Every structure is written in structure tokens, then in C-alpha cells.
Amino acid sequence: MTITNIAVCGIGGQGVMTATEILAEAALSLGFDVKKTEVAGMSQRGGVVTSHLRFGPQVLSPQIMPGEADLLVGFEAAEALRWAHMLKPGGIALVNQGRFVPPVVTIGLYDYPEDPIGEMRKLGLAVFDFDASALALQLGNIRLGNTVMLGAMSDRLPFPADVLRNAVLARFGARKPELLELNRQAFELGRAAVAQRAPAPATA
């Protein structure tokens, strides 16, 4: 098995780091060597945050180089566009349609693109987009968005979806048993959101 490279990006408070930790726990449970790192920004609420996760038989470095990511997971669409260069040819982007304006936009360092997902497709990328925030709100809690995103990833990994689902439930069920069923539902909503659609074709 080759090394799997996953880049995750979003805004602090969306659960980017928690999602990365759960992915790492799932891979570790199967005996993979796992390396992860937060590589950009600050993870406090509202700040831009990006993480890299690599796993396989042997991993020497946590760093993913541009053009090497098998999977780009964008909790926020503009951030996904900013990090689109990380995807390798044939890689897949899973992107939340929900808009969260990061501080770099608020202070004028970066203009929020009119259609970040459309711009990713113009780059020729395979993009699965869905509204993880709206799906989380269907269950009454926007914080379930990270579990929705994990569900969306689950069938794009080199191990069964059950492995990641079990890691999600172990993490959240251990803290608050009453959240177990909500997270189970959120996971399945994310999984279904991606399963029901193919990535839209790139536009010229």
C-alpha cells in the first residue's frame, strides 16, 4: 500500500483539527504509521487552519507537498480554493458549500472569491460539493458539521467506512453518550451527500 495524503482546511471553530485527529485515530486502529501536523494559520475560532495527515506502512514526514494530496477536504469553500494546489492529478476535493468569511478577508488581505467551487472546477479538479452546515442544522447543531464532513470522506479512504464511523462514535460517544446517535446520523448524512452525486465536470 502506498502512503495516503489528506489535506484538511477551514476556519477555526469548524472542527478541522478534531476531524484530523479522528482520521488519525481510525488509521492508527488499523496499524498504519500515521503522521499529522497543523501547517498554517491559527486554530482559534475564526482563524484560518489547515492540517496535513499522512498514513501508510511507513511515513517519515507529516508534510504534504503541493501536488501530492489524494484528498483535499475543505470545510470552507474559499479555503479549499486557496489550497487547491495541494491536490495531485486525479485527486478529489470534498468541499462544504457553507460560506464562512475568514479574518484574512475581513482585514483586506484576501478577496473572497465570487464562486470558489466554480473556480476549482475551472482548474480541472474533481470537486464534490455539498452543504455540510445545512445538513448539520437539520440535526439541530451546527457543530455536527465536522462529523458530516467525516462521513463524506469515509468512502474515499483505503479502508472501510465502518472504521472511521467507529472512531467518530468512540470520540464523541465517550464524552457525551447522548450525542452518539446525533453523530451517527450526521456521519450518514455526509456519506449520502457524496454518494448521491458525481463530481461536476470542469468548465472551460
Helix or strand run (H / E) with residue 54: strand 48-56
Tell me the three cell numbers of residue 149: 464532513
Mean pLDDT of 158-181: 88
CB-CB neighbours of 90 under 10 Å: 8
Judge whether residue 53 has pLDDT over 70: yes
Q: What percentage of residues in the chain have a pLDDT greater than 70?
A: 90
Tell me the three cell numbers of residue 111: 478577496
* Average pLDDT over all residues of the chain: 88
Q: Which of 110-114, 127-131, 150-154, 165-169 has the lowest mean pLDDT?
A: 110-114
Pairing type for strands 87-96 and 126-130 reads parallel
Its CATH class, for the domain covering 4-195, is alpha beta
User: What Å distances lie between residue 12 and 18, 45, 60, CA to CA?
Assistant: 11, 4, 28
Please choose, from the candidates 83, 171, 168, the residue with its C-alpha nearest in 3D space to the C-alpha of residue 125.
83
Judge whether residue 18 has pLDDT over 60: yes
Give all strands (DSSP E) within 57-202, no chain letters. 69-74, 87-96, 126-130
pLDDT tens by residue, 94-114:
999 988 777 667 777 777 888
Q: In the prediction, which pLDDT does 49 show? A: 86
Please choose, from the candidates 53, 56, 54, the residue with its C-alpha nearest in 3D space to the C-alpha of residue 32.
56
Residues 6+ apart with CB under 8 A from 86: 7, 64, 66, 67, 68, 69, 72
Vertex 128: Cα angle to 106 and 195 (nearest 5): 140
Q: Which of 62-71, 121-130, 194-203 has the lowest mean pLDDT?
A: 194-203
